[in-house]
Chain A
C-alpha cells in the first residue's frame, strides 16, 4: 500500500508526527459539571434543612473545585492521553458523597449516638489526601509496567495488609466484622488498600504463568481440567479468602478478593473452566463457613427475613447474637423514597443509625433522590467500570490488561456487594460504597485505583513514538483500536 495514494479515512489513521486527540478539554468540561452538581446539591440540602444557603457553600465549592482542578492539571501534565471520563466520574461521586455526609451530619439523632456531626469536614480532608495520592501516583508511576517488578513484594504486602486486623492490640472489631485496624486514633481498613496491591500481584504472576495454566490441561466432559500442580495458586488464594472469612468474619472482602482472582485468571488463560471452578469453590467455601459462623448466619437471616430480624432487634431478645434493624431500616428508606425521592434533606434515613453515612449511605440517596437518583448513581459506577475495562482492551501489554481488568472487576464487585447488600439483593457485608461513603481508607484507596487506571489508559492511548525519520520509508497504516 502506498501512502501517497491512500488518504486517511475515519477508520484508519496514519501514524505520523500528529498526535491523537488527548481529550483533556472534554475532561475539563465534564469536571465543571462534576463540581457544579454537588455544589447545587449542597445548597439544596441547606435550604431544605435550615431554609438558608449553607454558610460553607463557598469554601466547599472552592475546595472541591480546587481539588478537581489540581487533579485535572496533574492528568494534563503527567498523563495527557488518559481516559477523559474516569476523573469526572470519580469527582462527581465523591462530591455527592460529601453532600450526603454533610446532610447526615445535620441529623440530631445521629449526632446523639456519635454517628455523625463532623464527618463532612473530615471527609473533605481525606479527599484532599486522596487527590494528593492520586497526583503522586501519576507523578511517580511514569509507566505502569514498572509495577511488574514488585510482583512478589506485592504478594507479601497484600498478605500483611490482610492479616493486620488480626494482630492483637491493632485490630478492632466494629459491629461484628474484624476488618479494621486502629492506629493513633484513626481507623483504617487495610482491605481497601490490599485490593490494589493484590491486583498488582495477580497481574504479575498470571502474566508469567498464563501459558502453563492455559495449555497444560486435560479435557473432561467438555471442560479443560487444569493439572494438579497448576491448581496450586487458585487453592492458595481460595484458602486465604476462607481465612479472611473465618477470622475477620467478612464475607464481602473474601468474595471480592476471590472474585477478582477468578476474573483475572479467566482473562489470562481464556479458559471458562476456571470460572466454573471458581464459582464452585466460592460457593462451597461460603456455605461451609456459614454453617458454623453465627455472625454470617445472622446476616443471611437478616437478608432472607429482614422484618423478623427487625422485630428481634426491637424485642431485645438475649440469644448472644447482635440482631440489627439496619437491613429493614434501609429497605424502608428506599421504599419511602419511591420514584423521585423526598428531596435532599427531607428524608429520615437517620433511622438507620449505625453506619448511616458509610456502609448504608446509598439508602439516603434512595430516600432523598429516589429510584431516579439511585439509578443515576449506579450508572455512574457502571461507567467507571466499563471505562476501566475499555482501558484493559486498549492496553498494549498483557500486564496492563490484567491489572486494569483486575482493578475494574474488583471495583464492580465491591459496588455490587455493597449496593446489593443495602438493597437486600444479597446478604449484607461490611464494605463501603466507593467514593460515596464516609471513611478515609476507602476514598484514598479508590482514588489511587483511579490513578492507576488513568496511568494505564494514558499508556494505552498515547500515540506510538514517531518512527525515525526516513524520507523513503512508507508510513505504516494501522487500524485504530
Chain B
C-alpha cells in the first residue's frame, strides 16, 4: 500500500502548492489593483483616517477638514470641507466619504492623505517617532481674483465656462464653470449627503452642474476658430501680411456645391484683407482660406494648437475636435468653427495663449507644487513647451490683427485702459438646422507695455435666456474676459 500512499502525499502537497500559488497571485500580483480599487472601502477609510491635506490657491487653502460626527459605527474619522466650494469645484473636484473622489482630490489623493510613495521615508520616520500621519498639500497655479471674476461673471450670465492661462508658462489662472455644485454638500456619508448627490446627477438635473464645462464640454468654437485659420494661412504662406488682399468673392459659394456661405449682416468682406475679415468676422473670407488650404494643412495647424488630443493638467481635459475626413465645403465650414469642429474653453484659451506668447504653445497645468506635511516640496511642475503653432513673426502679425478686433472691431468691450488687448469674438450656432440658441464666445489675451503677456482667456456663455439677436461674443462674453484679465493684471501689481 505504500506506493499509492506516497502518491497521495504528493497529491496533498500539490493541493497546498496550488493554494500557495493562488495566494501569491492574489497578494502579490493582484495586490495593488485590489488595494486601490475604488470600491474597496479601505481606500475611503484610509483617505479619511487623517485630516486631509489642503488644496492651496495664492497661499490660502480652499479646502479644510473637520471631524465626522460620531453617530453609531462610522469608520471615517475626518470629513472634507470646502471654502467657496461651488466656485472652486472645477479645480478641486470633490472628495466624498460615500462617493469616492474626482479631479485633483482624486489624482493627488496619495499626497493629500499622506500615503504617496514619495512620503514613505517621512512616514516611516513619523511611525518611529510616534507622530501621527499627516496629509501633504497641493499648491495650484490658480489666481483667486481671476477665478472670482470669472465665476461672478458667469453667474450673472447663466450657463458657461471660463479658462484662463498664463501664456508664458501654461499655468492655469482661472477655471470656472456654471452652474456649479458645492462639494461640501455630499462630503459625508449620511442620507443628507446621498440626497444632495442624487439631486446633482445629470438624470435628475438637466443643467448637469457636476459637468466641468471648462475642461470636459466641447462647444462649436464659431468665429473664434478663425484665429486658427488665420494662423494656418500665415504659416503656409497663403498670405504674408495682415493687410494683403485676399481676393475673396462675395457672395461666396461653398466649393463643389450651390450653397452660399453667408456673413452676419452686410459687412465689407469682398476682397477684404485678413485684418478686416477678422475685425468684422467674415465667414466668406475664412471659409475660402480653409478651402484653399485644404483639409490636410488645416488639420496640421489645428493639431499644433492642441486639437484632437486630451490635455492632462493633470485633471484630464476632453480632446477638442477638428474633423479628419471632410470634403472641401465641409473644410470651409470647419475653418469658421462650424460643421464638426468643437473645442473646450481650455483649448480656445490655449489658442489665444499661443498667439500671445509669440507662437509658442505651453503645456497647460494647474498644479504648481506638491508639498509634504513638513512643507518640503515633493515635486515642482516646470513649464513645458507643447508645440510651436506659428513662427514669432507670424504670431506678431496675428496679434496685430486681434488687437484691431478689440480696438475697433467686434471686441471693443474687452478694452482695458493702459493695456493692449487682442481678442476674437464668436457666436456659434448649433442644434439641428441651427435651431438652438447660439453660444457666445470670446477669446483674448492682454499684453503689458513691456510686451509680455500675463494672461490669455477663453469665455463661453451658453445663454439660454437671452434674446437670440442679442447673443454675440462681444456683448456677453467679452466683459467677463475683460474682468478676468484685469484681475490678473491687478494682482500682479
Q: Which of A370, A386, A425 contacts B19 (CB 8 A)?
A: A425
Q: List 7 A-B contacts (CB under 8 A).
A: A270-B1, A335-B32, A338-B35, A348-B42, A348-B45, A390-B9, A420-B18
Bound-complex Cα distance A338 to B36 (A): 11
Q: Are B27 and A339 in contact (CB under 8 A)?
A: yes
Q: Are A371 and B12 in contact (CB under 8 A)?
A: no
Instruction: With A334-B34, A339-B28 as known contacts, state yes or no: A389 contacts B23, CB within 8 Å.
Output: no
Q: Which of B3, B16, B35 contacts A335 (CB 8 A)?
A: B35
Q: Are A366 and B18 in contact (CB under 8 A)?
A: no
Q: Are A381 and B16 in contact (CB under 8 A)?
A: yes
Q: Are B27 and A337 in contact (CB under 8 A)?
A: yes
Q: A243 CB to closest chain B CB, in angstroms?
A: 25
Bound-complex Cα distance A366 to B5 (A): 32
Q: Which residues of A contact B32 (CB under 8 A)?
A: 335, 338
Q: Which residues of A contact B6 (CB under 8 A)?
A: 393
The stretch of A30-38, A162-170, A226-234, A408-416 in contact with B is A408-416
Q: Which residues of B contact A337 (CB under 8 A)?
A: 27, 31
* Interface magnitude class on chain B: 35 or more
Q: Which residues of A contact B3 (CB under 8 A)?
A: 270
Q: Is A268 an interface residue (CB 8 A)?
A: yes
With a 10 A CB-CB cut-off, give which of B1, B27, B30 has the most chain A CB atoms: B27
8 Å CB interface, B365-391 against A: none
Instruction: With A423-B22, A424-B22 as known contacts, state yes or no: A334 contacts B27, CB within 8 Å.
Output: yes
Q: Is B466 an interface residue (CB 8 A)?
A: no
Instruction: With A348-B41, A378-B20, A393-B2 as known contacts, state yes or no: A408 contacts B31, CB within 8 Å.
Output: no
Bound-complex Cα distance A402 to B42 (A): 48
Closest to A366 in B: B27
Q: Is A331 an interface residue (CB 8 A)?
A: yes
Q: B88 CB to closest chain A CB, in angstroms?
A: 31
Q: Are B26 and A334 in contact (CB under 8 A)?
A: yes
- 5 additional A-B pairs beyond A263-B8, A370-B27, beta carbons within 8 Å, are A268-B1, A331-B34, A335-B27, A371-B31, A398-B1
What total of A-B pairs shows CB separation below 8 Å?
139
Bound-complex Cα distance A401 to B8 (A): 12
Q: Which residues of B contact A112 (CB under 8 A)?
A: 72-73
Q: Which residues of B contact A416 (CB under 8 A)?
A: 15-16, 18-19
Q: Is A382 an interface residue (CB 8 A)?
A: yes
8 Å CB interface, A350-406 against B: 351, 366, 370-371, 374-375, 378-379, 381-382, 385-386, 389-390, 392-393, 398, 401-402, 405
Q: Are B1 and A267 in contact (CB under 8 A)?
A: yes
Q: Which residues of B contact A267 (CB under 8 A)?
A: 1, 4-5, 8
Q: Is A456 an interface residue (CB 8 A)?
A: no
Q: Is B195 an interface residue (CB 8 A)?
A: no
Q: Which residues of A contact B408 (CB under 8 A)?
A: none
Q: Are B34 and A371 in contact (CB under 8 A)?
A: no
Bound-complex Cα distance A375 to B34 (A): 19
Q: Which residues of B contact A389 (CB under 8 A)?
A: 5, 8-9, 12
Q: B45 CB to closest chain A CB, in angstroms?
A: 6
Q: Are A425 and B5 in contact (CB under 8 A)?
A: no
8 Å CB interface, A90-143 against B: 108-109, 112
Q: A252 CB to closest chain B CB, in angstroms?
A: 14
Q: Which of A266, A415, A420 contacts B8 (CB 8 A)?
A: A266
Interface of B is mostly: helix
Q: Are A371 and B15 in contact (CB under 8 A)?
A: no
Q: Is A336 an interface residue (CB 8 A)?
A: yes
Q: Are B22 and A425 in contact (CB under 8 A)?
A: yes
Ranked 8 nearest A-B pairs via Cβ = A335-B34, A371-B27, A382-B16, A412-B12, A425-B22, A332-B40, A416-B15, A389-B9
Q: A224 CB to closest chain B CB, in angstroms?
A: 14
Interface of A is mostly: helix
Interface string of B43-85 (1 = CB under 8 A from A): 0010000000000000000000000000011010000000000
Q: Are A385 and B35 in contact (CB under 8 A)?
A: no
Q: B184 CB to closest chain A CB, in angstroms?
A: 25
Bound-complex Cα distance A109 to B73 (A): 6
Q: A180 CB to closest chain B CB, in angstroms?
A: 26
Q: Which residues of B contact A390 (CB under 8 A)?
A: 9
Q: Are A409 and B12 in contact (CB under 8 A)?
A: yes
Q: Are A339 and B2 in contact (CB under 8 A)?
A: no
Q: Is A152 an interface residue (CB 8 A)?
A: no
Bound-complex Cα distance A276 to B15 (A): 18
Q: Are A413 and B15 in contact (CB under 8 A)?
A: yes
Q: Which residues of B contact A339 (CB under 8 A)?
A: 27-28, 31
Q: Is B37 an interface residue (CB 8 A)?
A: yes
Q: Which residues of A contact B451 (CB under 8 A)?
A: none
Q: A107 CB to closest chain B CB, in angstroms?
A: 9
Q: Which residues of A contact B15 (CB under 8 A)?
A: 412-413, 415-416
Q: Which residues of B contact A40 (CB under 8 A)?
A: none
Instruction: With A338-B27, A405-B8 as known contacts, state yes or no: A382 contacts B45, CB within 8 Å.
Output: no
Q: Are B19 and A419 in contact (CB under 8 A)?
A: yes
Bound-complex Cα distance A339 to B26 (A): 10
Instruction: With A331-B34, A339-B27 as known contacts, state yes or no: A386 contacts B13, CB within 8 Å.
Output: yes
Q: Are B24 and A371 in contact (CB under 8 A)?
A: yes
Q: Which residues of B contact A270 (CB under 8 A)?
A: 1, 3-4
Closest to A416 in B: B15
Q: Is B199 an interface residue (CB 8 A)?
A: no
Q: B189 CB to closest chain A CB, in angstroms?
A: 14
Bound-complex Cα distance A375 to B21 (A): 9
Q: Which residues of A contact B24 (CB under 8 A)?
A: 371, 375
Q: Which of A332, A374, A405 contacts B37 (CB 8 A)?
A: A332
Q: Which residues of A contact B418 (CB under 8 A)?
A: none
Bound-complex Cα distance A331 to B27 (A): 9
Q: B114 CB to closest chain A CB, in angstroms?
A: 16
8 Å CB interface, A316-337 against B: 328, 331-332, 334-337
Q: Are B31 and A335 in contact (CB under 8 A)?
A: yes
Q: Which of A266, A336, A382 contacts B34 (CB 8 A)?
A: A336
Instruction: With A310-B39, A332-B40, A405-B5 as known contacts, state yes or no: A420 contacts B31, CB within 8 Å.
Output: no
Q: Which residues of B contact A420 (CB under 8 A)?
A: 18-19, 22
Bound-complex Cα distance A290 to B33 (A): 31
Q: Which residues of A contact B12 (CB under 8 A)?
A: 382, 385-386, 389, 408-409, 412
Q: Are B23 and A335 in contact (CB under 8 A)?
A: no
Q: Which residues of A contact B11 (CB under 8 A)?
A: 263
Q: B251 CB to closest chain A CB, in angstroms?
A: 59
Bound-complex Cα distance A171 to B323 (A): 70
Q: Are A109 and B35 in contact (CB under 8 A)?
A: no
Q: Are B31 and A338 in contact (CB under 8 A)?
A: yes
With a 10 A CB-CB cut-off, give which of B6, B30, B72, B73 has the most chain A CB atoms: B73
Bound-complex Cα distance A374 to B12 (A): 18
Q: Are A378 and B19 in contact (CB under 8 A)?
A: yes
Instruction: With A109-B75, A339-B28, A386-B13 as known contacts, state yes or no: A392 contacts B42, CB within 8 Å.
Output: no
Q: Which of A398, A412, A423 contacts B23 (CB 8 A)?
A: A423
Bound-complex Cα distance A425 to B15 (A): 11
Q: Which residues of B contact A401 (CB under 8 A)?
A: 1, 5
Interface string of B252-285 (1 = CB under 8 A from A): 0000000000000000000000000000000000
Q: Which residues of B contact A413 (CB under 8 A)?
A: 15
Bound-complex Cα distance A134 to B182 (A): 65
Instruction: With A334-B34, A412-B15, A416-B18 as known contacts, state yes or no: A423 contacts B26, CB within 8 Å.
Output: yes
